[in-house]
């Protein structure tokens, strides 16, 4: 069971862009090995930052509008939104970078 919430093209605006505070979105796909590698890391960060950050996952195979809108060309891509505005990103399964960005933006 994941600690991250699933978002779609249909509810992205309500769940992420209207969220007050930090929202972190993992753009992933079931066939993506590196995406599966970082999933447990994001689940753990969702627990550690509960109340400080909302962690969400968006499947790029079933939701094509949102990745196109944010020019996601490679997965995994993790986008960081603060009060609905895109403020940062990490491309690839780089655990240290992901953890650093959480610390930086959840403060």
Which domain covers residue 89, as residue numbers? 5-106
Q: What is the model's pLDDT at position 59?
A: 98
**What kind and span of H or E run contains 42?**
helix 33-48
Per-block mean pLDDT, blocks of 10 residues, the chain (107 long): 88 97 97 96 94 97 98 97 98 95 93
Q: For residue 101, what is the domain's CATH number?
A: 3.40.30.10
- Tally of domains in the chain: 1
Q: What is the model's pLDDT at position 3?
A: 84
Catalytic positions are 32, 35
- The answer to whether 49 touches 55, Cβ cutoff 8 Å, is yes
């Amino acid at each position: 069971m994941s600690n991250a919430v699933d978002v779609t093209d249909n509810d992205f605006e309500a769940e992420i862009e209207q969220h007050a505070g930090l929202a972190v979105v993992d753009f992933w796909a079931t066939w993506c090995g590196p995406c599966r590698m970082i999933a447990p890391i994001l689940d753990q960060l969702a627990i550690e930052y509960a109340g400080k950050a909302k962690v969400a996952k968006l499947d790029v195979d079933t939701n094509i509008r949102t990745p196109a809108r944010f020019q996601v060309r490679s997965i995994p891509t993790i986008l960081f939104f603060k009060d609905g505005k895109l403020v940062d990103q990490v491309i690839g399964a780089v655990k240290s970078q992901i953890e650093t960005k959480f610390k930086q933006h959840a403060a």
